[in-house]
Amino acid sequence: MNDSKIIDGKLISSQIKEEIKVDVEKLKHEKGITPGLAFILVGEDPASKVYVNSKGKACEQLGFYSITKTLPEDTTEDILLKQIDEFNEDKNIHGILVQLPLPKHINELKIIEAINFKKDVDGFHPQNVGRLVTGAKSFTPCTPYGITELLKRSNVDTTGKNVVVIGRSNIVGKPMANLLLKKKFNSTVTVCHSATKDIKSYTLNADIIIVAMGKANFLKGDMIQDSCVIIDVGMNRVEDNTKKTGYRLTGDVDYEDCYDKCSKITPVPGGVGPMTIAMLMKNTLESAQGNVFNDD
Ligand code: GUN
């Protein structure tokens, strides 16, 4: 992509992965440590299978050790907890990722809390969430972390800027807001969600809009001000009979409608998605390096 308006997540993520590759070689050579990442996938969710597959491929590319445990849909909480414990104890594993969502009969919070927070490379454990909020060292959730890297590497200054985050999930919206509140980013953050009245009144005043609500083409051109920066976290399947699969992926932003007005925008696919994987690798590398909790 050669258009300076487009924030090319595919390109930026490949640059980050190259940097990680160099550090992995160094870690292997100097300390004899290979970063190790364990994936746990429960059930048959097709999107989850695709995500775990892509993450496993990234491990291979970057010289990480990785292992994937695939468990059936009817796996009990106890069996899953035992599997997590095994990885908690395994010295070759520096990161554990339980792919979400989990089947309904499993208590997600109980599972996340069972992961040793020092191996919680997703940054979902309450210890890491609390540390993010209070400013202590922690794993930063991969998608928000990827978005701050996209902004930084595209020379978008966040200091004093009005940032509107649309969506309040534990995976994106909430950690995104807390990350941008940190001194390091210094933004003024507003979080909008499904019960917000008149979202447009907020987005019209935003310098940066981060949309993570899971609603195809929600953000329109008449909802934004000139020269704003738009980050689209959406990944929606919409029916498209011209495609072999019968669907195409589209974001939460009406890209065509917003393109002329904004100063920068991320495409879908090829924007935020590849960054999430790159930052997962970065978190795992840092865990293997012993960098994250070395001030405990
Ligand atoms: N499901 C959707 N996104 C994520 C993620 O970043 N991590 C995990 N573990 N599950 C997810």
CA 193/CA 203 separation, integer angstroms: 12
pLDDT, position 3: 81
Domain spanning 142-273: CATH superfamily: NAD(P)-binding Rossmann-like Domain (3.40.50.720)
Q: In the numeric block, which tokens belong to residue 262?
A: 């904004």
Give residue 191 CA to ligand 1 midpoint distance, Å.
Answer: 21
Give the pLDDT of the chain (296 residues) as one tens digit per residue. Answer: 558 899 999 999 999 999 999 999 999 999 999 999 999 999 999 999 999 999 999 999 999 999 999 999 999 999 999 999 999 999 999 999 999 999 999 999 999 999 999 999 999 999 999 999 999 999 999 999 999 999 999 999 999 999 999 999 999 999 999 999 999 999 999 999 999 999 999 999 999 999 999 999 999 999 999 999 999 999 999 999 999 999 999 999 999 999 999 999 999 999 999 999 999 999 999 999 999 998 76
pLDDT, position 1: 53
- Contact status, residue 138 vs residue 127, Cβ threshold 8 Å: yes
pLDDT, position 66: 98
pLDDT, position 251: 98
pTM of the model: 0.97
Q: Closest ligand 1 atom to the C-alpha of 122?
A: 7
Give residue 101 CA to ligand 1 midpoint distance, Å.
Answer: 8
Domain formed by 30-119, architecture: 3-Layer(aba) Sandwich (3.40)
pLDDT, position 294: 83
pLDDT, position 2: 56
Catalytically active residues are 55, 99, 122
Domains 30-119 and 142-273 share a fold: yes
Residue among 100, 145, 282 whose CB has most ligand 1 atoms within 8 A, to mutate: 100
Residue with the nearest Cα to atom 1 of ligand 1? 100
Per-domain residue ranges of the chain? 30-119, 142-273
Helices 272-289 and 142-153: crossing angle in degrees, nearest 10, is 110
pLDDT, position 255: 98
Give residue 122 CA to ligand 1 midpoint distance, Å.
Answer: 7
The residues pairing with 165 across neighbouring beta strands, listed in sequence order, are: 191, 210
pLDDT, position 112: 98
Lining ligand 1 with CB less than 6 A are 97-100, 122, 142-143, 171, 276
Residue with the nearest Cα to atom 9 of ligand 1? 99
- Contact status, residue 123 vs residue 141, Cβ threshold 8 Å: yes
Residue 278, judged by CB atoms within 10 A of its CB (0-12, 13-18, 19+), counts as buried
